Amino acid sequence: MIREIINFTENLIEDIPDVMQWNIKPSRGIHIVVELDNEGQWVNKDNEMYLIDTNVNLNDIPSEALVQYEQLGLRVGTSMNKVLDNRKQIFSCSPFILSFKKKSLLNEKLEGVGIEKIIKLLPDYFSKAQELCKNERQVQLSKSFQNQCGEVLNFLHNKKILEKNEDVEIEVQILDRIKNDDYINLYLKNATFEEYRIVHNAYLQDKLFNSNKYNKEIDGTTFGLSNFLNGLNTKKPFLEHKTSINSISGRITTKDALSLRIFESLLINKTLPNPLPITIDNNEINKEIVKIFNENTEPISYRDLLKQLFQRKNIKYLSNYYLINHSKRKSIILNDVDFVPLFRYYFDKPIVITNVFKSGTIRDKKFELTPTIKISSVFDFERIIVKTIFNNSLVKIKEDRYSANYFGDIDPTYIRGGDIMYLLILKYRKSIYEFIYKSKRNAISSYSFNELMYQSILSNIKKDEITGLFSWNNTIKEKLNIWFSLYSLFNNNFKIEENMSSKITELMSKMSSVASGKSHLDNPEEFAFCAGQIVSYLIDRSAASNKNYSLLEPYLQKSKSGQLQDAIAQAISVYKHDISTYKGSFQNLSSDVLTYDESIEFKPLLKYFLAGCFSECVIYQKVVNNNNSNNN
């Protein structure tokens, strides 16, 4: 994988030389470009001093040049372990740049007061920085710059600017305009960008490797231990490479180390998408991905990026690539790296979510059924299905933009569905990610899908309240529609499964037949469904003022059909005063359920039980039919 990253970076820099400046703005703070005359005196005082904050208009500032200066003086990594300054206060790593944070002027551990604290660090810093110079001209330029840095800093310390305050212009110290974490940057204008590049490369060659202790010269080429997301682990023996020489991983060349450093910088600068696909043998695709991602002024989703890529290149699939998912905390972290032989943006045929449980919404005081949902792409699957299953907590949608947290930390406080949903996300989000982003259709098994859907519905059962009749519309019905419509999609047993959505229609028809006394329950699925119908009717009999679906829990905890039958019998005894029909549909349904085989394992039948609970109750249908017959 390291070789593929190196090749990707080298080809990208060759094809798009200025990519390192894309999406980068000068850092917040004060930037001063210092020009010296032939005698080494500062000649452009106050002419090229720039204050960068969130409100500044960068069109009035040579931001491209400032960015280039900054990039050619950056330290290796995101820590201060490889800077030139022993006190770790000066961030720049170039003989032509001085860069530090304002808070260093307040550091009590440094000698002096204010600007003096930094001036005292200059001799040691520039002594090391000038060792990077390749000729006498560069050394003399750096020494002249060093001699003037004190004057520039003192000038800056006394510099005041006009600022409007309630339509009145007042003078304020420029240092008071920046925050403690903002930078103060000085750049030497007399050195060319090529000279900047030469001395910075000299710094990089010395610092790019994790430790120079393991460097080796072979035929004039330096090989060392990569510093790219790599540690020596010398204090953690159990993390050492026990099968390699000196307990280290393989060495790479200085050139390769530089490419990895550039790649890491591109990730930090958010010039590359996340996740990032790197094709093995198609540089044109790699370049197009980077271009599409950076052409948009607003952040572009991975879904839209691939959609545009497929349209531009007239392709239907993306094949043979590494998919890198990363995040940035204190430094870049690779969350997941995997090879994807073939990515399928679209399903072989659209997935249909049938509204067999009659979910819907109320509009203008009228109940409207949710129409049949057709899903063509994996990202529509993410946007619609995953959002619903995880209660809008794994995939969050706001104003037609959605975000997904497949790898980051999760705060349980903001999870809808309590601990059940929190644990469910942690357990299944990696599988969901692989199903969508890597086209691993076997990432979710039928067993996993059943558990996922049951636990997801259980999170609602524990929290949701009942409004109106037990069969009233709610998100549980939406999840049941998904469970039964997608059951065959996740069947990995290589056998033809029955259409689960149509089975609900068949079960409803059978319930009507049993309720009218024309037939009896023939199999465990019918038993579980019928039990759900009875339980929903019994819960409707409850007089509790704040009924919720947790009333289902005592039934869901049963492991055998006999235990469920006992619970139903006890409920009938409790609510018998409110059951108006002992003869007819209720009697026929309960008679068949209570006399059915008592030794059936109930857990595998939970989806049918819940389906019976949230389907239209045939007991009410029968009452309506009887009333209609009497009226006639």
Write the DSSP assignment of 571-610 as a string of letters: HHHHHGGG---SSSHHHHHHHHHHTS-TT-BSGGGHHHHH
Boundary residue ending a domain (155, 183, 207): 207
- pTM, whole model, 2 decimals? 0.82
- Local confidence band at 583 (pLDDT 50, 70, 90 cut-offs): low
How is the chain split among helix, strand and coil, in percent rounded to 5? 50, 20, 35
- Local confidence band at 628 (pLDDT 50, 70, 90 cut-offs): very low
Same domain for 172 and 83, yes or no, is yes
- Local confidence band at 2 (pLDDT 50, 70, 90 cut-offs): confident
Q: Omega of the bond prior to 237 within 30 degrees of 0, cis?
A: no
| C-alpha to C-alpha distance for 622 and 537, rounded to whole angstroms | 13
Q: What are phi and psi of 188, to 5 degrees?
A: -85, 115
The residue behind tokens 């939406």 is 478
| pLDDT the model gives residue 417 | 86
Q: Which domain holds residue 605?
A: 498-632
Containing 164, the helix (H) or strand (E) segment is strand 160-165
Find the mean pLDDT for residues 554-578: 90
Largest CA distance in the chain: 113
Write down the mean pLDDT value for the chain: 86
| pLDDT the model gives residue 437 | 95
Same domain for 180 and 247, yes or no, is no
In sequence order, which residues have a C-beta less than 8 Å from that of residue 247 and are 6 or more positions away? 234, 240, 241
Residue 6, both tokens? 């190196």
Let me know: does 192 contact 82? Beta carbons within 8 Å.
no
CA–chain centroid gap for 360, Å, is 31
Q: Is residue 248 part of a domain?
A: yes
Length of the chain: 632
Q: Is residue 9 part of a domain?
A: no
Same domain for 631 and 550, yes or no, is yes
CA–chain centroid gap for 359, Å, is 30
Boundary residue ending a domain (293, 318, 346): 346
| pLDDT the model gives residue 396 | 85
Burial class (CB in 10 A: 0-12, 13-18, 19+), 77: middle
Same domain for 328 and 418, yes or no, is no
Same domain for 22 and 155, yes or no, is yes
Q: Is residue 622 part of a domain?
A: yes
Percent of the chain with pLDDT over 90: 54
- Of 505, 384, 494, the closest CA to residue 446 belongs to 494
- Local confidence band at 626 (pLDDT 50, 70, 90 cut-offs): very low
Same domain for 380 and 316, yes or no, is no
Total domains in the chain come to: 4
Let me know: does 454 contact 482? Beta carbons within 8 Å.
no
The residue behind tokens 């005063």 is 577
Q: Is residue 31 part of a domain?
A: yes
pLDDT, tens digit (0-9, with 9 covering 90-100), for 406-452: 998 888 888 888 899 999 999 999 999 999 999 998 899 989 999 99
Q: Of 138-142, 168-172, 206-210, 466-470, which has the strongest mean pLDDT?
A: 138-142
Same domain for 308 and 380, yes or no, is no
The residue behind tokens 């039919």 is 625
Find the mean pLDDT for residues 128-156: 95
Let me know: does 306 contact 279? Beta carbons within 8 Å.
no
| pLDDT the model gives residue 84 | 94
Neighbours of 623 (CB within 10 A): 16
| C-alpha to C-alpha distance for 270 and 265, rounded to whole angstroms | 8
| The Cα angle at residue 435 between residues 429 and 438, in degrees rounded to 5 | 110
| C-alpha to C-alpha distance for 470 and 547, rounded to whole angstroms | 9
Burial class (CB in 10 A: 0-12, 13-18, 19+), 193: exposed
Residue type (1 letter), 513: S
| C-alpha to C-alpha distance for 535 and 552, rounded to whole angstroms | 8
pLDDT, tens digit (0-9, with 9 covering 90-100), for 354-373: 999 988 887 787 888 889 99
154-168, 418-432, 474-488, 598-612: lowest mean pLDDT where? 154-168
Same domain for 324 and 362, yes or no, is no
Q: Is residue 224 part of a domain?
A: no
| pLDDT the model gives residue 105 | 93
pLDDT, tens digit (0-9, with 9 covering 90-100), for 60-72: 788 889 999 999 9
Same domain for 321 and 366, yes or no, is no
| C-alpha to C-alpha distance for 470 and 533, rounded to whole angstroms | 10
In sequence order, which residues have a C-beta less than 8 Å from that of residue 404 and are 6 or more positions away? 382, 386, 394, 395, 396
| C-alpha to C-alpha distance for 87 and 74, rounded to whole angstroms | 17
| pLDDT the model gives residue 413 | 87
Checking if the pLDDT of 629 tops 50, the result is no
Find the mean pLDDT for residues 448-467: 89
- Of 105, 95, 108, 101, the closest CA to residue 149 belongs to 95
Boundary residue ending a domain (324, 346, 368): 346
pLDDT, tens digit (0-9, with 9 covering 90-100), for 537-552: 998 888 776 778 888 9
Same domain for 414 and 292, yes or no, is no
Same domain for 375 and 524, yes or no, is no
| C-alpha to C-alpha distance for 201 and 207, rounded to whole angstroms | 10
Neighbours of 376 (CB within 10 A): 13
In sequence order, which residues have a C-beta less than 8 Å from that of residue 210 and are 6 or more positions away? 224, 225, 226, 227, 230, 231, 232
Q: Is residue 5 part of a domain?
A: no
| pLDDT the model gives residue 630 | 42
| C-alpha to C-alpha distance for 113 and 239, rounded to whole angstroms | 45
Q: Give the sign of the dihedral formed by CA 314, CA 318, CA 319, CA 325.
A: positive
Checking if the pLDDT of 256 tops 90, the result is no
Same domain for 310 and 458, yes or no, is no
pLDDT, tens digit (0-9, with 9 covering 90-100), for 510-524: 999 999 889 999 999
- Local confidence band at 230 (pLDDT 50, 70, 90 cut-offs): low
Q: Is residue 2 part of a domain?
A: no
Let me know: does 437 contact 275? Beta carbons within 8 Å.
yes
Q: Is residue 229 part of a domain?
A: no
- Of 512, 490, 511, the closest CA to residue 445 belongs to 490
Q: For 459, what's the count of Cα atoms within 13 Å in the CB-facing half-sphere?
A: 24
Q: For 81, what's the count of Cα atoms within 13 Å in the CB-facing half-sphere?
A: 11
Let me know: does 191 contact 138? Beta carbons within 8 Å.
yes
| pLDDT the model gives residue 254 | 82
Neighbours of 236 (CB within 10 A): 9
117-131, 278-292, 390-404, 425-439: lowest mean pLDDT where? 390-404
| C-alpha to C-alpha distance for 200 and 222, rounded to whole angstroms | 17
Find the mean pLDDT for residues 226-244: 58
